[in-house]
Amino acid sequence: MAEIIDGKIVAAEVVEGVKKSAAALAAHGVKPGLAVVIVGEDPASQVYVANKSRTAKECGFLSVQHTLAADTSEADVVALVEALNVDPSIHGILVQLPLPGHIDAGKIIQTIAPDKDVDGFHFINVGKLATGEVDTALVPCTPFGSMLLIERKHGKDLSGLSAVVVGRSNIVGKPMAHLLLAANATVTIAHSRTRDLPALCRTADILVAAVGRPEMVKGDWVKPGATVIDVGINRIPAPEKGEGKSRLVGDVEFASAEKNAGAITPVPGGVGPMTIAMLMANTLVSAHRHAGLEYKGL
Ligand SMILES: Nc1nc(=O)c2c([nH]1)NC[C@@H]1CN(c3ccc(C(=O)N[C@@H](CCC(=O)O)C(=O)O)cc3)C=[N+]21
């Protein structure tokens, strides 16, 4: 049976470090500020938003939330982001995705000042990650947090290890692959058009599932002893818990996968809490950079 990697514990350690560093920043008269912009009400995002503002306050940050009506125009969202870009009290801007269909998410993301882009989605940060300029980049929170869990298990140098990332999104799959590559892993990105996905997954020493399909990765896809990082957060009906009830599952079929894996992240309590912790870490890094200070954390 696999070791269960407890993301809540590692995330709490990260948050503890962020809290201490934020307190030290206060001596320089700097308070990290995080602004979250939400357009409309996406129920799947509510948990995330609540966890995020609670953690930001716990870290001693300024935490500002702008909740806009679902029919807000693209121009109005652009104007808000531009105002936050020049607001000196704000060091991190996160525009909650998905956005309503009439708003071009790409346009909004590219409007965010790259040095406040705590999601790491702006072309500048994507390019820096891809070219190894990580010291001045902001790295996407979910892959960054996943990488921290992988480091706990394998150290910072993944030389000789093969990693398979299932999923090629700009938000998780691609940046995850870049981080693994930067750590010297041999990386394959798999997706819906990959031939014999189970066989490919069985070659992975490190298997990252980020496809958004509930329990798609089965136990017999997992190489014995492999490290499995489950990025999926899927809410599925759970009639056994009562009528209208639901439960969270990952992209990995946990019960079968934990029999083969050497280590595995659960859902909930794995990558999710790490995403929040890294958002705090990125906001702290940004606050340091804006103040001309160096952050020697993480
Ligand atoms: N611009 C943007 N950046 C994001 O990073 C972003 C986003 N938009 N839109 C929504 C998704 C989703 N997301 C989550 C992060 C943590 C948990 C999390 O903490 N999950 C708990 C779930 C706790 C529970 O529901 O019981 C866990 O996995 O343990 C969930 C979801 C970030 N997202």
Condensed to tens digits (0 to 9), the pLDDT of residues 88-108 reads 999 999 999 999 999 999 999
pLDDT at residue 232 in the model: 97
Q: How far is the CA of 49 from the centre of ligand 1 (A)?
A: 8
Identify the band that residue 296 occupies on the pLDDT scale cut at 50, 70 and 90.
confident
Identify the band that residue 275 occupies on the pLDDT scale cut at 50, 70 and 90.
very high
- The CA distance from 288 to 24, in Å, is 11
Q: Is 96 a catalytic residue?
A: yes
What pairs with residue 165 in β-bridges? Answer: 189, 208
Q: For ligand 1, atom 4, which residue shows the shortest CA distance?
A: 96
Residues with CB under 6 A from ligand 1: 45, 47-48, 51, 94-97, 119, 141, 233, 248, 267-269, 272-273, 275-276
Residue 275 tokens, joined: 């995403």
Contact predicate 260/222, CB 8 Å: yes
pLDDT at residue 257 in the model: 98
Delineate the domains of the chain, giving CATH numbers in brackets.
27-114 (3.40.50.10860), 141-272 (3.40.50.720)
Q: For ligand 1, atom 24, which residue shows the shortest CA distance?
A: 268
Over range 9-24, report the average pLDDT. Answer: 97
pLDDT at residue 298 in the model: 66
**Which pTM does this prediction carry?**
0.97
pLDDT at residue 3 in the model: 98
Task: Give the CA distances from residue 47 to residues 41, 43, 53, 197, 254, in Å, rounded to whole numbers and listed in that order.
Answer: 12, 8, 10, 32, 22
pLDDT at residue 254 in the model: 98
Instruction: Using the predicted structure, report yes or no on whether residue 10 has a pLDDT greater than 80.
Output: yes
pLDDT at residue 45 in the model: 72
Instruction: Using the predicted structure, report yes or no on whether residue 47 has a pLDDT greater than 80.
Output: no
Q: Is 110 a catalytic residue?
A: no
Q: What is the ipTM of this complex?
A: 0.97
Mutation probe of ligand 1 site: the residue of 34, 233, 249, 271 with most atoms within 8 A of C-beta: 233
* Nearest CA among 159, 117, 161 for reference residue 138: 117
Instruction: Using the predicted structure, report yes or no on whether residue 263 has a pLDDT greater than 80.
Output: yes
> Catalytic: which of 119, 205, 230, 251?
119
| pLDDT (tens digit per residue) in 137-156 | 999 999 999 999 999 999 99
SS3 content of the chain, % helix, strand, coil (to 5): 45, 15, 40
Q: Is 57 a catalytic residue?
A: no
Residue 108 tokens, joined: 């909004």
| Chain mean pLDDT for the chain | 96
Instruction: Using the predicted structure, report yes or no on whether residue 207 has a pLDDT greater than 80.
Output: yes
Q: How far is the CA of 233 from the centre of ligand 1 (A)?
A: 8
pLDDT at residue 41 in the model: 82
Mutation probe of ligand 1 site: the residue of 108, 116, 275, 279 with most atoms within 8 A of C-beta: 275
pLDDT at residue 13 in the model: 98
Q: How far is CA 220 from the centre of its chain?
A: 27
